[in-house]
Amino acid sequence: MKLDIPHIIDKFVHESRSALQGNVVGEYLFGSYATKTQTPLSDIDILIIVESLTPDMQSQVSGLASEYALMYDICFSPILTDTGTWGKNRKFDTLFYQEIIRNGIRL
């Protein structure tokens, strides 16, 4: 059975936003799925920018990623960062920031 990856990503985004209770500032798909270079072994990379990051938020999103791995046999690799850290990435024009700006897809 072929997976409907866009639907699964949309569902993950919806559930992560719900779990993070309005703290989400932005979410981006990046990596091979964003550049359409994925293989059957590729993970789904998602950057989640939140107003303020807590260990509980990290735990909730990691748990959600684990649930999706079990349900769909596909690996989600969410990266959570807060607006302060994301601002530093922007200020110093890091390679990660450049990758998101160049190839990331806002969700």
Q: Are strands 76-82 and 44-50 parallel, antiparallel or unpaired?
A: parallel
Rounded (5°) CA angle 28-39-13? 25
Per-residue pLDDT at 1: 65
Under DSSP, the state recorded for 52 is S
Per-residue pLDDT at 90: 98
Would you kindly state where each structural domain of the chain is located, as residue ranges?
Answer: 9-104
| pTM of the full structure | 0.94
Q: What is the spatial distance between Cα 74 and Cα 86, in angstroms, rounded to a whole number? A: 27
Per-residue pLDDT of the chain (107 residues; tens, 9 = 90+): 688 999 999 999 999 999 999 999 999 999 999 999 999 999 999 999 999 999 999 999 999 999 999 999 999 999 999 999 999 999 999 999 999 999 999 99
Class of CATH domain 9-104: alpha beta
Residue among 59, 58, 27, 63 at smallest CA distance from 45? 27
